[in-house]
Amino acid sequence: MPRFIFLFAFGALVVAGSQVALTLGIHPEHLASLRYIMQSGAGLIVGTAMAATGLMGLAEGYQRTASQLGSLLQSKTHGEALPLVVRSDDQLQSQNRHFWQAYCSIGLSLAFFLAGLLSISILLSESSFFLYMAGLSAGVGILGIIGAIGGIQGLRSARQCQKFAEIDSSLLTAQPDYIAEAPRPTAKAPAKISWSSNRKRSSSHSRALAKRPPVASRYAP
């Protein structure tokens, strides 16, 4: 992860310097040569690619570490004595949100600087070159400080989340696997033995009554 932080920081500096150089060369009273403008544009493109690569490396590295940590939390035993920063899925989700907030802060800091510098150059394009230079110098100083503070804080927070995830993953890797206890089989009740048959036996008297023909009633017409 440190190499991606360095790559983003270096790319951001190249982007900022190229943007300042390009802005200085497009004033109507002091229009630079085509070669100068092309070199500044090439530096802007290369710096943007480097900064974007650094940001993508930061996101990919943390996502891989966070996924590994989530799997280890489910498969490894971790007691209270184990010094973990993240102990549950809810805490992991909270740390993920913190990382992505810092990640957005990093990108927005660079975008804020570039957008502010572009706005100043557009607003002062009709003014004299001296006033244009003074406005750009003040803008670079103010916007640079604000952007640097936001970017450094974002990089520090993102690095801290990555570091916590790596430490927790290394601690959980050394722990034994979590084995879920198998449910104990319930004791079955012994089968009841029926000592008497449910089938009713017909008696000799009932059999005799069944064979006797019906007697006609004396009150029948």
| pLDDT at residue 214 in the model | 52
Question: Do the domain assignments include residue 194?
Answer: no
User: Tokens 């009709």 correspond to what residue?
Assistant: 126
How many domains does the chain divide into?
1
Confidence of residue 221 (pLDDT cuts 50, 70, 90): very low
Question: Do the domain assignments include residue 204?
Answer: no
| pLDDT at residue 219 in the model | 41
| pLDDT at residue 194 in the model | 52
Percent of the chain with pLDDT over 70: 80
State the residue range of the domain holding 25: 2-173
Q: Specify the DSSP class assigned to residue 218.
A: T
Torsion angle, alpha carbons of 112, 106, 152, 37, to 10? -50
Is the model more confident about 209 or about 4?
4
Tokens representing 13 are 């500096």
Buried b (16+ CB within 10 A) or exposed e, 177-216: eeeeeeeeeeeeeeeeeeeeeeeeeeeeeeeeeeeeeeee
| pLDDT at residue 160 in the model | 92
Question: Do the domain assignments include residue 185?
Answer: no
Question: Do the domain assignments include residue 186?
Answer: no
Residue 43 CA to residue 12 CA, distance in Å, equals 11
Question: Do the domain assignments include residue 157?
Answer: yes
What are the tens digits of pLDDT across the range 46-101? Answer: 999 999 999 999 999 999 999 998 888 888 877 777 888 888 888 889 999 999 99
Question: Do the domain assignments include residue 74?
Answer: yes
Residue 75 CA to residue 189 CA, distance in Å, equals 37
What are the tens digits of pLDDT across the range 147-194? Answer: 999 999 999 999 999 999 999 888 888 888 876 554 555 555 555 555
Torsion angle, alpha carbons of 85, 91, 97, 102, to 10? -10
Question: Do the domain assignments include residue 45?
Answer: yes
| pLDDT at residue 100 in the model | 94
Question: Do the domain assignments include residue 36?
Answer: yes
Q: In whole numbers, what is the pLDDT of the chain averaged over residues? A: 81
For the cut 70, the answer to whether the pLDDT of residue 127 exceeds it is yes
Average pLDDT for 19-40: 86
